[in-house]
Amino acid sequence: MSQRVLHGLAAAGGVAVGRALVVHDPEPAETEGAGGEAEQDRAVAALGLVADELARLAQVARAAGRAEEADILDANRLIAQDPELLEEVRALAESASAAASVRRATARHADLLSALDDPLLAARAADVRQLGRRAARLLSGAPTFSPPRFPAILVARDLGPADVAELELAGGRVRGIALAEGAGTSHVAIMARSLELPMAVGLGDELLETREGEEIVLDGENGVVVVAPAPHVRRRALAAVERRLGERRTLAQARDLPAVTRDGRELRLLCNASTSAEVAAGLAAAAEGVGLLRTELAFLEFETWPEEADHLACLEPVLAPLAGRIATVRTLDFGADKTPPFLAGTTERGLALTLAHPEALTDQLRAFLRAAAGARLRILLPMVEAPDELRTARRLLFEALDTTAWTGAAPEVGAMIETPAAAARAQEIAVEAAFLSIGTNDLVQYTLGLDRELPLASAQAAADPAVLGHVAAVVEAAHARGIPVEVCGEAAGEPPLVALLVGLGVDELSVAPARLDEVRAVVRGLSFAAAARTALAALEAGSAEASLGLGRALVSAEARDELGEARDSLDGVVA
């Protein structure tokens, strides 16, 4: 059989080769009159089982140090438990089967979300549809997929976050994902990137004609799938896979080298973390410490503010490996998409919210001091907008110091700059801070009105000249006071943006542990002088695409020796 080339959208980079593992969603019977109380109970119970599965998978992901995946799974669990959705399911199941009722209710809710023309809600709409499909599979007794005994490419119409989280149960034999539908900015795509699984979406219904076990070449960089590939295409793909593995080995061998540009500008590389597993992974990849330790994720289900003992139980195992190293611990960043039950309906977030509850903040500060003995503790305050907020928080820290056994100098207190308003007041804020940290995810959202829950889109949008202008202003304000600036958002792990951030004068980059090797290579391959010229040009560029292109060209031209040759595209082979 001759090869079939399907073109879709890139969702997660990389090339994979395997045999098709096809997921078929059962189509529930649509006949009316099959409902009743028993079907209502079955439908609601199925969604309850989906919620339980999501909770279990979120717990596994969080224990493995994948906080972002866990957050997505938890958000989907809450959707499955939504009272309005359950009420509609019960109403439909009065006269229809349980599976049909679940599918109809979730489809209607998804359609309502999609009609609002909001990127965040569009992503959640896809998740809602997948919850219905997953519940229907449970009702039919069909598994998501049977773990393969061979290297496989998972083929489906669409998948949900729980489906992707379960891929780890396949023992690494699922090498990539190909979807007939889907979007490159979906939660599924985010999780595929986290798991480093190549993924292409929007490949069309022709993909679903693929037979079980048919060989597939997947090019996630270009959104291309080749079914029954010709021998030369298969050879090129296998060579690309091996080349990427070799690149990773080469990058890992440079972990003992400093993150210093070719002309002597040295940066500090730190890791983002929320669990002990992430801290261990970061240190194994030669991070100098932690640049952002998230502390709120363990308390998203709490019914009251966590107390000192609660914080201490979570912090001690995470901070223990950081003796003698930098431990940048962020105070609770509740609010927005991270709101526990006891704060339902709150409009405040970040530092403003915790300052309104000073006893709760003091409890956490005391726990920091008790758990971080031996580490170089830096306390990071989220969503700072005014210098008086820092003064108040520092007063609470001094009170906590008086009642603990902390020895030595007081920990450094830093401010997260995450809004245009904070960037505009960076000079004032810098007077009160020991360091500044830029959270690019929120800065992008508030500057451009984009969705912070779509990390790849937000990271690339951080190249917008308006966002880069805020970064430049923060760096200038901090350096005028002689204090360092770190970037801890998703942008700090994207090579083209790393080049621009280096050029703007950022001192520290804090990234996911898996990104450390590549970021180190980018820094070592750059000339700071060339990066500074490129960053200046990016500030004057007309769009995020234009400035991102400048960063990409600089990395391609200057950092190739450190990063290895660019991976070949399959497009030229199959044309």
All residues at 6 or more sequence positions from 469 whose CB lies less than 8 Å from its CB, including other chains: 539
Catalytic: 271? Answer: no
Cα separation, 476 vs 429, in Å, equals: 12
Catalytic residue, candidates 7, 109, 187, 314:
187
Cα dihedral sign for 418, 364, 355, 431? negative
Cα separation, 497 vs 178, in Å, equals: 28
Structure tokens of 366? 């005391």
Residue pair 348/389 in contact by the 8 Å Cβ criterion:
no
Q: CA-CA distances (angstroms) from residue 299 to 275, 303, 351?
A: 13, 9, 16
Cα separation, 99 vs 29, in Å, equals: 8
The gap from C-alpha 42 to its chain's centroid, in whole angstroms, comes to 34
Cα dihedral sign for 274, 278, 280, 283? negative
* Pairing, β 199-201 against β 9-12: antiparallel
Catalytic: 314? Answer: no
All residues at 6 or more sequence positions from 175 whose CB lies less than 8 Å from its CB, including other chains: 16, 17, 18, 151, 152, 153, 197, 198, 218
Q: 154 by DSSP, 3-state: which?
A: strand
Residue pair 524/254 in contact by the 8 Å Cβ criterion:
yes
> In terms of DSSP H, where are the helices of 141-216?
161-165, 187-194
DSSP states of 116-136 as a string?
T--HHHHHHHHHHHHHHHHHH
The single-letter code of the amino acid at 135 is: A
Cα separation, 13 vs 200, in Å, equals: 9
Residue pair 35/256 in contact by the 8 Å Cβ criterion:
no
The single-letter code of the amino acid at 231 is: P
Cα separation, 282 vs 299, in Å, equals: 23
Catalytic residue, candidates 109, 271, 470, 488:
488
Structure tokens of 227? 């079914």
Tokens 């007794």 -> residue? 141
All residues at 6 or more sequence positions from 166 whose CB lies less than 8 Å from its CB, including other chains: 57, 144, 145
Cα separation, 187 vs 348, in Å, equals: 26
> Which residues are marked as active site?
187, 488
